[in-house]
Amino acid sequence: MIRVGRADDYNIWSHSRHMRDLYRARARDEAEEMTCAGQAAQILAELAKPGETLFDAGCGSGWFFHALRRRSIPLDYWGMDKTEAFIEIGRQELAAFGLPPERLLLGEIEYAEGAADHVLCMNVLSNIDHWMRALDRLCAVARRSLILRESVRPMAESTLVTDRFLDPGVDLKVHVNAYARFELEQFLIARGFSVRWEVDWRTGGAPENVIGYPHWWNFLVAEKKDMVG
């Protein structure tokens, strides 16, 4: 017999007690700031103007809000994530730091609507089936800039592997992808962005094992051409 399962049943992030605990600690500002958050905040500090908005796509519990708050970067923060447990954690914990719960949205970034001056997406696209549909939506949302931190190499490489770090008894697979640098650049240029790359502070460009598989982290900063300068 065939039945329809729930999408969340196949979402690896819904099956990791470790990640839920970590994302709660980050939302409470009790965990050390991630190096990538510090690097993204520095990039945004150079771009941000008072009153502008930031959309954090795949935000987890919204912990990047603290990177802006600590540095007094004048951006109105909005986040979206498809994992209900993470969004609930963020709504519970970040209100104490001044973020209204309605700023954290439950949903997949492929269905994001509206506009934000700046869009941030870190460590997300490398673990979905493919980046094009999601990135096309983020391009449509971004008014001024789009900042990515993803696994990028000269040549693309895609794999589907079992995640061995989930809760006991959970057997799910996850994409571990590295995307082609030139292909990403051309995709963004065709949508009206200029593109520059920054070496990832944490790894210095060297591969880093995540769940046992290498990731080649890079920062990509794309700005709307009519906004540059």
- Summarize the confidence of residues 7-21 as an average pLDDT: 94
Question: Mind listing the pLDDT tens digit for each residue in 149-159?
Answer: 999 999 999 99
DSSP letters spanning 10-32? G-GGGG-HHHHHHHHHHHTT-SP
In terms of pTM, does the model score above 0.85?
Answer: yes
Task: Give the helix/strand (H/E) hosting 103.
Answer: none
* Residue 20 domain-assigned (yes or no): yes
- Summarize the confidence of residues 14-20 as an average pLDDT: 96
Domain tally for the chain? 1
* Residue 229 domain-assigned (yes or no): no
Question: Mind listing the pLDDT tens digit for each residue in 128-181?
Answer: 999 999 999 999 999 999 999 999 999 999 999 999 999 999 999 999 999 999
Percent of the chain with pLDDT over 90: 95
- Nearest one of 200, 136, 208, 135 to 176, comparing CA atoms: 208
Q: Which residue has the tokens 């979905």?
A: 128
* Residue 2 domain-assigned (yes or no): no
* Residue 29 domain-assigned (yes or no): yes
Q: What is the CATH number of the domain that holds 18?
A: 3.40.50.150
* Residue 40 domain-assigned (yes or no): yes
Task: Tell me: pLDDT of 73 over 70.
Answer: yes
Task: Tell me: pLDDT of 228 over 60.
Answer: no
DSSP class of residue 124 equals -
List the domain range (segments joined by +) for residue 110.
7-224
**Residue 121: predicted pLDDT:** 98
* Residue 117 domain-assigned (yes or no): yes
- For residue 91 the two structure tokens come to 């709504």
Question: Mind listing the pLDDT tens digit for each residue in 74-128?
Answer: 999 999 999 999 999 999 999 999 999 999 999 999 999 999 999 999 999 999 9
**Residue 226: predicted pLDDT:** 77
CB 177 within 8 A of CB 156: yes
CB 43 within 8 A of CB 221: yes
Task: Tell me: pLDDT of 7 over 90.
Answer: no
- For residue 72 the two structure tokens come to 């007094």
Average pLDDT over the chain reads 96
